[in-house]
């Protein structure tokens, strides 16, 4: 069995992945099946001086869904991710997670609530090893305080061994075992993307924001990513908001797709509905012919 096969097999093994998620028992990360959507974006506006990056965007993401977020370059996708994950403070509107407003919460608090993300251009510590980078993502899971840490109390050792167990499982799942001790900065871009995904998953997020995870991947790697995303969704108890330029990937894995253009929503529905939407086809005709084709026929 090749390593990617192993990874896929592992991803389908509910028992194994549930153990990694380990967090199914953790009240900090369990998405909690409240009535209503997991994420509600309500009339969100984001201005940078005179630039209106988001002009009042609204949509919902349901529990357990992969929701694709598409749109030409500059349409506001990354800005919206930055608002949801607390990097930017939106100028108006509200974002609700599990029914509670995220407005004004710190990034750290959002991670602790169960919102994880990856970055379009990859944001790893280049001089730290792969495993050190991944463990950074488990930081907020520790509940022991400063004193317990300073005294190395048993609770601290238990937290560390739990994080290390999850680390091992994730390195295996994402085929990173052989590079675990290698500096992240020396790895090829697609491998760095997997490291980021592992770092997000070790934090046991209920909502995972993926910003162009297929960027820089070849055809076979995009296919593997599609399989992986679909297979980890249930066992990891995840909901995914997926920004992606690869229209075929979005259309294949998403249950719902939201399309933006110039900071405004131009379509919202199933992949079948959105790809037929004249506004979406028109928006993509402004891009490359290949993307326009995908928008119409993918
Ligand atoms: P996308 O991810 O869809 O390609 P972005 O969210 O990166 O688009 O950008 C949307 C718009 O907001 C663009 O016009 C971009 O120039 C602007 N923008 C994004 N971030 C900033 C910022 N920090 N300062 C000023 N303008 C920004
Ligand atoms: Mg972007």
The tokens for 256 are 């719902």
Residue 104: predicted pLDDT: 83
Q: How far is the CA of 120 from the centre of ligand 2 (A)?
A: 6
The preferred substitution site among 44, 47, 53 for testing ligand 1, maximizing ligand atoms within 8 Å of CB, is: 53
pLDDT band at residue 21, thresholds of 50, 70 and 90? very low
Per-residue model confidence as pLDDT tens digits over 69-101: 999 999 999 999 999 998 899 999 999 999 999
Per-residue model confidence as pLDDT tens digits over 259-276: 999 999 999 999 999 999
Tokens 């402004």 locate to: 286
Which residue has the CA at smallest separation from atom 13 of ligand 1?
A: 74
pLDDT band at residue 147, thresholds of 50, 70 and 90? low
For the CA of 51, the nearest ligand: 1
Q: How far is the CA of 245 from the centre of ligand 2 (A)?
A: 9
Residue 39 predicted with pLDDT over 50 = yes
Residue 10: predicted pLDDT: 42
Residue 23: predicted pLDDT: 38
User: Among 57-71, 96-110, 248-262, where is mean pLDDT lowest?
Assistant: 96-110
The preferred substitution site among 55, 76, 263 for testing ligand 1, maximizing ligand atoms within 8 Å of CB, is: 76
- Residue 44 vs residues 82, 139, 224: alpha-carbon distances, Å: 12, 29, 34
Instruction: Point out the ligand 1 atom lying closest to the alpha carbon of residue 75.
Output: 3
DSSP string of the chain, one letter each residue: --HHHHHHHHHH-HHHHHHHH-GGG-TTT-----SS-SEEEEEEEEEETTEEEEEEEEEEE-TT-EEEEE-STTSSHHHHHHHHTTSS--SEEEEEETTEE-TT--HHHHHHHTEEE--TT----TTSBHHHHHHHTTGGG----HHHHHHT-HHHHHHHHHHHHHHHHHHHHTT-GGGTTSBGGGS-HHHHHHHHHHHHHHT--SEEEEESTTTT--HHHHHHHHHHHHHHHTTTT-EEEEE-S-HHHHHHH-SEEEEEETTEEEEEE-HHHHHH-HHHHHHHHTS-HHHHHHHHH-
Per-residue model confidence as pLDDT tens digits over 160-194: 778 888 999 999 999 999 999 999 999 999 999 99
DSSP string of 196-259, one letter each residue: HHHHHHHT--SEEEEESTTTT--HHHHHHHHHHHHHHHTTTT-EEEEE-S-HHHHHHH-SEEEE
Question: Per-residue pLDDT averaged across 118-131, rounded?
Answer: 91
Q: Which residues, in sequence order, are bridge partners of residue 241?
A: 67, 209
Residue 14 predicted with pLDDT over 60 = no
Span between the terminal Cα atoms of the chain, in Å:
31
Ligand 1 site: residues with CB under 6 angstroms? Answer: 48, 51, 53, 71, 73-79
Distance CA 117, CA 199 (A): 9
Which residue has the CA at smallest separation from atom 15 of ligand 1?
A: 74
**The listed CATH number (3.90.1150.10, 3.40.50.300, 1.25.40.10, 1.20.210.10) that belongs to domain 3-128+206-297:** 3.40.50.300
Domain ranges of the chain: 3-128+206-297
Whole-model pTM: value is 0.81
Residue 17 predicted with pLDDT over 90 = no
């Amino acid at each position: 069995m090749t390593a990617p096969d192993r990874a896929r097999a592992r991803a389908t093994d509910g028992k194994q992945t549930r153990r990694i998620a380990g967090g199914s028992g953790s009240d900090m990360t369990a998405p909690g099946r409240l009535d209503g959507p997991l994420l509600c974006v309500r009339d969100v506006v984001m201005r940078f001086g005179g630039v209106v990056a988001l002009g009042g965007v609204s949509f919902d993401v349901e529990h357990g869904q992969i929701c694709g977020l598409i749109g030409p370059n500059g349409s506001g996708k990354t800005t919206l991710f930055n608002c949801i994950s607390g990097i930017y403070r939106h100028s108006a509107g509200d974002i609700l997670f599990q029914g509670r407003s995220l407005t004004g919460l710190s990034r750290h608090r959002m991670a602790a609530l169960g919102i994880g993300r990856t970055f379009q251009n990859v944001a790893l510590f280049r001089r730290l090893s792969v495993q050190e980078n991944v463990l950074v993502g488990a930081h907020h899971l520790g509940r022991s305080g400063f004193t317990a840490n300073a005294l190395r109390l048993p609770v601290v050792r238990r937290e560390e061994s739990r994080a290390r167990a999850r680390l091992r499982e994730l390195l295996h799942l994402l085929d990173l075992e052989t590079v675990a001790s290698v500096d992240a900065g020396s790895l090829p871009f697609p491998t760095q993307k997997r490291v980021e995904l592992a770092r997000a998953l070790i934090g046991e997020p209920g909502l995972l924001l993926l910003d162009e995870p297929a960027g820089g991947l070849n055809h076979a790697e995009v296919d593997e990513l599609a399989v992986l995303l679909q297979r980890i969704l249930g066992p990891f108890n995840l909901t995914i908001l997926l920004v992606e330029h690869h229209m075929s990937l979005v259309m294949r894995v998403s249950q719902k797709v939201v399309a933006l253009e110039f900071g405004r929503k131009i379509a919202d529905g199933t992949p079948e509905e959105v790809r037929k939407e004249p506004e979406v086809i028109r928006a993509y005709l402004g891009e490359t012919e290949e993307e326009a084709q995908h928008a119409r026929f993918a």
